[in-house]
Structure 1
Amino acid sequence: MAASGRSGSSSSFNSSSRGVPPQFDQPASPADLTFTPTSAVSALTSESSAPEAPLGPLDLGPPGYTATIKLYERTPNETTVFLGPWEVINTEPRRVVWQCSYAGEVLEHFLPSDHPTEVFPYTLHAQHRRFGDPRDMELYLNFREPHRIRYATLNGVFHDEFIEVQYEFTTIESSIQFQGDIRSRDLIDWFDVDVVWSDNHRRTDSYGNVRGLGTIQRMKLWRDRYSTFHYITFYANHRRRWKEYLVHDFENEFRQRDDRHRRVQLNARGTRRGSASESSHSQNRDRRFSASSIFRPRQNSSASHGSSSSSSHSYQSGLDIRYLGIQFTRNDRVQPGSDDYRRFLQLWDFAHEADGAFDVPFPTNHVELPSPHVNGTGLFPHVNGIAELPSPELFGSLASVPEPSSPGDSGGTP
């Protein structure tokens, strides 16, 4: 039977007593010839009657915990804090309050932004643990920038400074829930990618090295809890910044698809279809500066603007790229058909079908005040299905109008 305690004296006791047969000393005759059974009983009685020191509390370790975090890591004061349930406080400053395993302990994680969509939890690519389950990478959660951590006990504040936050969760479900709570977006799935590129950041540089926006990263698919729209995020390590794109800003059909090399190319809405070379030539042509462009007639520029606006699509995505290319990682440790590439194809259709129910994406980062006429607490009376506003005539609250005075009421003689 496995030991019930996670750490502490109970586990060490079980490990030391397991598999070792008990040993008893052989009875030896006493040297004193006056030894009798009665004297032996009296000796035991005298020893048991002596007062014994009380036993100290048995430390069985913390009870069930959700995650751990290390403070003062790689120092003599390194401490591991066992974290339990958490609560996200959305008031300024926005923070996560953890209930620790021991009484009187509270750990506060101050988030860098008051907007949930500007907080990005980071997990490593499965390549960092080649012989493990790729899903287990979600157990190790960190952030790319230092965050403030405040840890207080019954004895006072033990830690209050900015550190590189690294959580280690006990279950994948708790990690997914935590990421969704701090972003106000549900984590749908994640995909390991080899490289992500666009028309502005090519897949390879001039020397043939694979660059793009980011390499060996984990892309995540989110669903906003407020607008229910889907987003994809990844860390552009070559630009050292986060990238987030709305799924609705791309067309459902892939511009290019290569199942053999696990590549797809997402075409942005409102852009004309063309090859990558054409888009690069058009960008270079726009950057050219000529004297003829200075003296170009105003009518020509307005006419060209009108023709371009009429030929474009009705919906403009607002993206600064024409397409986004993704090459997914091959992982032989997963079952065929359930790899990251196949899952992305299925979830991409699902996300587009769900987001297609709305014409325009719902705005984020805004607040709506509750209206009494929406929740039914202040409904107006209806007549034939038409709402009527309250009239002051019904309540007898018309403003009194003074009557005009006649010339004879003034008391003077005409």
Structure 2
Amino acid sequence: MKVKETCIIACFVIALLGMRQTLEAKWGLEDVIEKGQILYELGGGSNSILNPESVTEDELPILLKNPKREGYLFGGWYLDENWEERIYRIEDTGGKRLYAKWNLCIEPNRNVQEYPYKAKDGDLLLKDLTYSFLYELETPGNPGTRIQDLLQQKYASEYQCPQGLCITPDYIIVSSYALEEDKLGALTLYDRTSHTYIMSFGMEADSHLGGIAYDGKALWICHSNSKEVERISYAFIKKLAGVSRQNFIDITSCFERYPVDNTPSAIACMDGQIYVATHHVYTPGILCAYTYDGKSLTADKKCLLPPKVQGICRDEAGRVFLSLSYGRNQSSYLNIYSDMDHLQKNFWTPSARVEMPPGSEAIAVENGLCYVLFETASYKYFEGSDGKGTCKYPLDKILLLSEESIFYD
């Protein structure tokens, strides 16, 4: 063989060896995952001692536990480093590399104080008022608890988005829809005094569940995609909650359905009537009052509302509150009117307006406190699952705002 050909072959062999070393360094080919072996990419976290390093057929299935990382919320185990293929359990003995996803912890008080308010003339700023949070109550889809909630079968979907809120003598009730169209939404009951979770009721899938209201005998629930409101006996709900040992019960076939003239987004029960509000983004919304006769709803009166209405309620003094929001990084507002007549005649000019961080939804007022539910901690807004970005100032707790601080501070 000629010297020139020998040199070419030698260079080719050296190049192949170098390429192999490069590939091994880049792809970790020397780190072959054996059958039954599980490798964890923790991203700075520490693993649970209950997560196995290897599995056998006899041990399957194995429920994966949550790792921990200071200052972060665990966002789930994934089979890929781009966090697209979710995994909850080990169900076979194939070798696996699991990737932990992390999200920064939500600090609601800090987000209220550091939010960049627009501070328009005459507006009150939430950060300057007297407020607190229901820290004990974990809303559906909360990033800190949603994985365990699913594994404990509290919901049909991990990705719940809270929408409606009402307070009864026994419960605080939150409605939520599932981000997956084929999964059930939920009505979640919390103890009125301790704020602890009691149970959840499955609601219709592929429905944008909206506001909920209590009229003393029944619950009313908005379905904006079907222009209907649903009614279910409160006594029935209370009985199920008292006797059931399950965390979740599908009650989708237990409702009475009533069509309405306007698309239902928010709802309130006042003066023996059902008030249904329609959310419009750029044009005034609509508020219709309906009378229920035990068989049907009859439209009685109608008025206009500001755009972006998400919630409506009235306090003991007769003042009407509206929750207004649209956009994961646009301010929410709480509009307050002296009475229903004021709202109907001059909805553009409230008696007071409070600017808040984004994503306010349903509201309720009781004992001088305004309860405000936010949706920005849900997967859609907190992690931007719809590809439209994330909320920079999410709130994962129900806000408690003092009425006294609005009118007298």
TM range (shorter): under 0.3
Q: Which has the higher contact order (CA 8 A, sep 6+)?
A: 2
TM-score normalised per structure 1: 0.22
| Structure (1 or 2) with the greater helix fraction | 1
TM-score normalised per structure 2: 0.22
| Structure (1 or 2) with the greater strand fraction | 2
Larger Rg: 1
